[in-house]
Structure formats: structure tokens, C-alpha cells
Amino acid sequence: MIMDRLNFIQKFSSFLGISIVSTTLLESCTSNPEEEEIVLTEEEILYNSLKEKTSEHGKFLDGRILYIDVTHEDFSDLNTVGEFINDSDNYILILRKTEDVFQVFSNCCPHLGTTNQWSYNQGSFRCANHGNSYGTGTQNIARCGSRSTSGNLKQYQTMINQDILTIDFDS
């Protein structure tokens, strides 16, 4: 699910303590008046901040919001469409669905809650513990550990800003 771009900037900039007051902001002033001042957009300022915060581990958790740099070496499996990563620290499966679309799901199996036996093939995740498969749609969500043997995995809202993926755990 793609969130509105403006809402994204307004919502997540507040998490990072960035105050956005105009459509463009001056990033820095130069001592040489002949040099051009660098003017960054709100989105560029937010992006630069997130790149810095995710630089060490490829991810940064801020409350209920998770930021992932999908180009970080720890997430290199996401370079390939159709591949996924099981981020056990955050209990999620991150799927590169297409070149431009990432989807994020709970990694808790709806059957009995296993989190680490997933494989993915053509729109379905399969849990090898008892062999049940679950879809990636947004309807008919099967809850974690509810003994469901079918349905779709719980999915979180995401937003991609260049190579920074934002995941909203409250969605």
C-alpha cells in the first residue's frame, strides 16, 4: 500500500525532529558569497537524515516506524524482484514485489506462530513447519497464531523515498 507522498513527509519528518516550515529550505550558508547556496527540498532533507540514521545497520527503528535502506549490504537480497528478507529483529517479511514496489508482512505464521520457515513463490508465502501457504492480498487477513491454514498475511503500510523504505507498524 502506498501512502500519499505529502502525508508521508509531514508524518515522518516529525518523528525525526525535523521542522518543515516552507516548501524549500536552506541546508547551509556559505562564507563565500560568490558560491551558490545549496537549497534542498523538504523531501531531500528528510532523505539525507534517514540515510545517515540507517548507514550503520541498514535500518533504524523510531517508535512504531521502521526505516530501511534497501541498498544497504545487509538487505542485498532485495536487489532482486521476487526475493524477500525475513527481518527477525522486527518480525517482518520484506518482499521486493516489483522493481518499484516493496511489501512488508508480519512474519508470524497464522497457523501456530512460527516465524522462521518461510519461502516465497508467485504471490504466496509458505511456512515449512506444517506446509501451509498464505497470500499477500489485503483482504481476509489471517491473524498470527490463530490456527488459520489459509488467508493473507498481515500487511503493513509502506512508502519508498528513493532507496529508503518506511514501514508503519501502526497501520
Task: List contacts with ligand FES (CB under 6 A).
Answer: 109, 111-112, 114, 127, 129-130, 132
Min dist. Cβ of residue 87 to ligand FES (A): 18
CA dihedral 51, 56, 59, 63 (to 10 degrees): -90
Residue type, 153: L
Q: Which is nearer to ligand FES, 58 or 113 (CB)?
A: 113
Min dist. Cβ of residue 2 to ligand FES (A): 29
Min dist. Cβ of residue 117 to ligand FES (A): 7
Min dist. Cβ of residue 138 to ligand FES (A): 21
- What DSSP letter does each residue of 115-153 carry, written as one string? -S-EEEETTEEEETTT--EEE--SSSBPPTTS--SSSB-
Q: Which is nearer to ligand FES, 109 or 159 (CB)?
A: 109
Q: Which is nearer to ligand FES, 16 or 112 (CB)?
A: 112
Q: Which is nearer to ligand FES, 70 or 153 (CB)?
A: 153
Looking up cell 498475511 gives: 153
Extract the C-alpha cell encoding 57.
Answer: 545497520
Min dist. Cβ of residue 127 to ligand FES (A): 3
Extract the C-alpha cell encoding 80.
Answer: 532482486
Per-residue CA distances from 125 to 83, 130, 136, 166 (Å): 11, 13, 8, 22
Q: Which is nearer to ligand FES, 148 or 158 (CB)?
A: 148
**If 0-12 CB within 10 Å is exposed, 13-18 middle and 19+ buried, where does residue 35 land?**
exposed
